[in-house]
Structure 1
Amino acid sequence: MLVYILFSEKSSRYYVGQTIDIKERLKRHNSGRVNSTKYGMPWKIVLQMEVSNRSEAMLLESKIKKRGAKRYINDHRGVA
C-alpha cells in the first residue's frame, strides 16, 4: 500500500491519496477520471511512501492532510 502526494503546476495544488497501484492511479488522475483532480492536470508524483496496510495508509494520509502536503514534504525531504 502506498500513500502519495501529487502536485499540479497548473493549479499550484497538492493532492494526497493512497493506492496499491501508483501507475494506474496516476493515469486516472491525469485522464480526468478523479473529480477532485480533474482541473489540475497534469499531476506529477512528488512523494510516495510505502506502508504495510490500509489502516496505516489512512492514518498517514490524514496526518499529511492535517499538516499540509507542502509542509509535510519540507519536513520529510529525503526521508521517503
Structure 2
Amino acid sequence: MIYVYILRSECGQHFYTGMTADLDARLERHNAGQVRHTAKFRPWRVQTYLGFDDPARAQAFERYLKSGSGRAFAVRHL
C-alpha cells in the first residue's frame, strides 16, 4: 500500500504533501528534522492520507495535490 498524505504544522500555517509506503516512519522523519523541506516548521501532524494499491496512481494523485487546483481541492475537501 502506498500512502499519499498531507501534513499540517502544529502552528497551522504550513502544509506538506508527500507519498510513502510507511506513514508512521515518514512522519517520524519529518518531526525529527530529517526532511529538508519540513525541518523548520515542525512538529507536524497528519491532516489526511489516502491509500493506493497502484503506485502510479498514487504518484499521479500526489502530483495533482501539489498543483494549484489540487491545493484548492485539498483545502475544500480534505
TM-score tier, shorter chain, comes to 0.7 to 0.9
TM-score, with length taken from structure 1: 0.84
Residue 74 (structure 1) shift:
3.6
Q: Structure 1: which 4+ aligned runs deviate by more than 4 Å?
A: none
Q: 1:24-72 CA distances to partner (integer Å, 9 max, x unpaired)?
A: 0000000000000001100000010011122111100011111253x22
Secondary structure of 1:12 counterpart: coil
- % same residue: 33
Distance 2:23 2:12 in 1: 21
The CA RMSD over aligned residues, in Å, is 1.6
TM-score, with length taken from structure 2: 0.86
Task: Count how many residue pairs are aligned between Structure 1 and Structure 2.
Answer: 76
User: Any stretches of 5+ residues in structure 2 without a counterpart?
Assistant: none
Indicate the residue corresponding to 2:77 in structure 1: 76
Distance 1:23 1:10 in 2: 20
Indicate the residue corresponding to 1:8 in structure 2: 9
User: Any stretches of 5+ residues in structure 1 without a counterpart?
Assistant: none
Distance 1:11 1:19 in 2: 22
Residue 10 (structure 1) shift:
3.1
